[in-house]
Amino acid sequence: MSNYPSRSHKSLATPRLFFASIGLSLCFNLTMIALMLFNSINAAANPIQQDDIITTDVVNSFDELGHGTLLFKHATQYKKAAQLNIDVVMNITGMINRVSVTQSFSNTTDDWQEGIYVFPLPENAAVDHMRLMIGERIIEGQIKEKQEANKVYQQAKKQGKQAALTKQERPNIFTTSVANIAPHETVEVEIEYQQIIDYDNGAFSLRFPMVVGPRYIPGKQRIAGFSGTGWALNTNEVADAARITPPVLPPGSQRKNEVSLKINLNAGLTLENIHSTYHVIEVDKQAGHYEIQLKQETTLANRDFELIWQPHASDIPKAALFTEEMNGDTYALIMMVPPTVKKTETLSKEIIYVIDTSGSMGGQSIVQARTALELALTRLKPGDRFNVIQFNSFTSKLFNHAESVNSATLEQALNYVRSLEAGGGTEMATALHAALANQSNDNSLRQIIFMTDGSIGNEQALFEIIQKELGHSRLFTVGIGSAPNSHFMRRAANFGRGTHTHIGKLDEVQKRMQNLFEKIENPILKDITIDWGQMNSTAKNIAPNIEAWPQKISDLYRGEPLLITAKAKQLPNAINISGDVANDNWSSKLTLNGGQTRQGISTLWARNKIAALMEQKRDNEFESIKQLIIDTALEHHLVSKFTSLVAVDVTPVRPLDKTLDSHAIPTHLPAGWDHKKVFGQPFPATATDARLNFIIGMLLMLLTSLLVLCLHGRMTAGMQEIERRRKPKPRYLGSPIAPTVGVRNINPNPSS
């Protein structure tokens, strides 16, 4: 206290200025803070009119929505796009389906148009023909390397010639572009493909997808604006996002893409029944074949079509052989059903259930997935271990680690599953990592049941995760909803050494899941090798003059047939197929004569070869494998990732002074999907912290002022004290106050 006065000597020199400045800043601070606070309080005190607030019942956190959710770039642009109609004709003979898809583009505007249509085909479709049909004229498409085909098309487009280009974006996503459609003209593009019919558990089936469900595009958006015709921007993870995300019609739109469907089914067997899972059909039995069509002539292109036909029990085929002679080679498609093995004792196992709860699962899909998952949980047995993982923009787990099955954990899981809601992005990679992590080293049975619609654009990256991290797990995919990404389901299960199934509506959950459980719970046939009989069986699948695809045969689950395509100078009389089932060797001899001759077996063989090569391509040998794919595709006239079909009319029709409008054909949202859940744009954050910063700053200044003032007060007191000491002290001797002081000093307990 003693040296205080000397320290503040300076301020003492200008006390007025000092006080004035402090006072001023105090006033300013106080006013500012009061103003800000008043405004805020005012805002809070004026309650918002309830009718102004839009509310819906669905509560979902916006912050969870990933950046992959974008919307309606072409909100009203689509009105100008060409009208699209699709006619599908299928010819099924035995296990082979030859399909013609005619896409007709009608330009209803007064301008010249280019129509771009992104559409799905079955993931095993071998597209080998495309023709452009303008009135009576038919121009056959030529197979070319992708870039060259594109160049030819672009040039024709510029020259005003009518042209069509069909290219592959994914094994199950294709794009048709048609240039120079005259005002009020209709141009047709016919695409033909061949596919092998699915055969499982004694029933044949085919799926014909009609719409590419909007795909979630993970990754950082590239700053390049929109390229291509899609609603998504290309990202670092999905470089072609704009090409696989056709614009989607907004809810309530009057526009319709309609599909007509005619099937000529020649099963070659007596059939027990034929039925379509999602569409009402009419079946007309003719001599030796069935004619099938949609009951209502057309249907909206908004969900997969599925046809299933079942032979009589006595007629269920156990093996089949189809051959084709071409250019001195014999091509063969060989099918064989391994015998079912009696169920062995069940081992305890670990099952990880993964469920997609992203926005695309909103609507009916999430209900199907929840039901399927509940059913799966009830199959668990005491001694098993399990966990449930859900993912959207984020991944979360029911338990930290897999838990043993008991009534408490099961109850907990069921409650968890029942409360699952859909919303947000589809960050599938983190979910896969989570499902494949924490594998024990004891090689015990570990199964992952993965329920999703596969609406993602980064398939390849996900397949790589599965390949790398699979360990001893097996991954089973359950494709949910009306337009699942079947390519993802099949391939992911393939890489995951599991199998796949589809659920497209609630009342098939029971049956499909039952079928899946039977596959999962029964012994599988693994390590399958084929001895082509021409080599000493040194465990090689392929004899020198036989080229069979796929080379590595996947494990077969109960009811699944072995399907293999081969090319040979001459087929051997018999082959020997062997494998391992329930730790026993199994082998079977199959004689290869008396097969039926079918056109297009070579195409199927080439398609299988390309699919296998696409999986093999690695960075170091990318170029050589790419060349092999191109050679195979060009030889067999096949559309692939690296080859496209292009058709160009000779004479230019568009006067070059007329401009060409380019429009993507808008597609329907898959049936049962919720538009808002997929395309809903979250509200952005639209406030800064400037005001908060100001207030904190002002408060601190105010505090300083107060502090200074307070200290100064004490300082002033000190000054006065000094001054008082300097001046002679006033004396109050004998004043009447003195006794009072004395009274105050009287204390009954002085020591306290």
Partner 1 sequence: MIRTFKKVLIIFLPLCGLWFIGQGSYIHAKAVVAQLLLETAWTETLGGNKEVKPWPWSDTWPVARLSAPALGISRIVLAGASGSSLAFGPGHLFGSTPPGENGNIIISGHRDTHFSFLENIKKGDHLELQSNKKTSAYQVTDIQIIDKTKVEAIPVDSENKLILITCYPFDAIQSGGPLRYMITAKFKHSFILS
3 state SS of 519:
helix
Calculate the CA dihedral of residues 449, 530, 443, 396 and round it to 10 degrees. -20
Minimum CB separation of residue 316 from partner 1 in Å reads 50
Max CA separation in the chain (angstroms)? 143
3 state SS of 261:
strand
Point out which span in 64-72, 169-177, 276-284, 478-486 binds partner 1 (CB under 8 A): 64-72
Nearer to partner 1, 26 or 628 (CB): 26
Minimum CB separation of residue 738 from partner 1 in Å reads 36
Residue 33 vs residues 19, 381, 695, 709: alpha-carbon distances, Å? 21, 66, 6, 19
Nearer to partner 1, 202 or 250 (CB): 250
# residues contacting partner 1 (CB under 8 A): 68
| Residues counted in the chain | 752
Instruction: Give the integer Cα–Cα distance in Å for 222 and 237.
Output: 10
Nearer to partner 1, 76 or 749 (CB): 76
Answer for which of 252, 339, 739, 742 binds partner 1 (CB under 8 A) is 252
Instruction: Give the integer Cα–Cα distance in Å for 37 and 723.
Output: 44
Instruction: Give the integer Cα–Cα distance in Å for 549 and 546.
Output: 10
Point out which span in 220-228, 312-320, 505-513, 653-661 binds partner 1 (CB under 8 A): 220-228
Q: Is 544 in the site for partner 1 (CB under 8 A)?
A: no
Nearer to partner 1, 224 or 650 (CB): 224
For 507-516, give one letter per residue: b (16+ CB within 10 A) or e.
ebbeebbebb
Answer for which of 407, 443, 688, 751 binds partner 1 (CB under 8 A) is 688
For 161-187, give one letter per residue: b (16+ CB within 10 A) or e.
bbbbbbbbbbbbbbbbbbbbbbeebbb
Minimum CB separation of residue 708 from partner 1 in Å reads 6
Question: What angle is formed at CA 117 by the lines to CA 114 and CA 118, rounded to 5 degrees?
Answer: 145
β-pairing verdict for 258-266 and 289-300: antiparallel
Question: What angle is formed at CA 689 by the lines to CA 684 and CA 694, rounded to 5 degrees?
Answer: 155
Minimum CB separation of residue 43 from partner 1 in Å reads 4
Q: Which of residues 697-736 bind partner 1 (CB under 8 A)?
A: 697-701, 703-704, 707-708, 711
Minimum CB separation of residue 718 from partner 1 in Å reads 12
Closest CA to 293 of 340, 266, 260: 260
Answer for which of 250, 268, 471, 652 binds partner 1 (CB under 8 A) is 250
Point out which span in 9-17, 267-275, 674-682, 721-729 binds partner 1 (CB under 8 A): 674-682
Q: Is 617 in the site for partner 1 (CB under 8 A)?
A: no
Q: Is 21 in the site for partner 1 (CB under 8 A)?
A: no
Name 626's Cβ contacts closer than 8 Å, sequence gap at least 6: 617, 642
Nearer to partner 1, 622 or 694 (CB): 694
Instruction: Give the integer Cα–Cα distance in Å for 672 and 213.
Output: 11
Minimum CB separation of residue 256 from partner 1 in Å reads 15
Q: Write phi, then psi, for 433 (nearest 5 degrees).
A: -55, -45
β-pairing verdict for 96-106 and 83-93: antiparallel
Answer for which of 8, 74, 198, 368 binds partner 1 (CB under 8 A) is 74
Nearer to partner 1, 33 or 628 (CB): 33
Answer for which of 66, 70, 502, 555 binds partner 1 (CB under 8 A) is 70
Q: Is 743 in the site for partner 1 (CB under 8 A)?
A: no
Please name every residue paired with 405 in a beta bridge, in sequence order, or none if there are none: none
Nearer to partner 1, 423 or 595 (CB): 423
Answer for which of 34, 408, 692, 722 binds partner 1 (CB under 8 A) is 692
Q: Which of residues 31-60 bind partner 1 (CB under 8 A)?
A: 36-37, 39-40, 42-44, 48-49, 52-56, 58-60
Nearer to partner 1, 362 or 498 (CB): 362
In 10 A of CB 47, how many CB atoms?
7
Please name the amino acid found at residue 646: V
Binding region for partner 1 (CB under 8 A)? 36-37, 39-40, 42-44, 48-49, 52-56, 58-62, 70-77, 221, 223, 225-226, 231-233, 250, 252-253, 423, 676-677, 679-701, 703-704, 707-708, 711
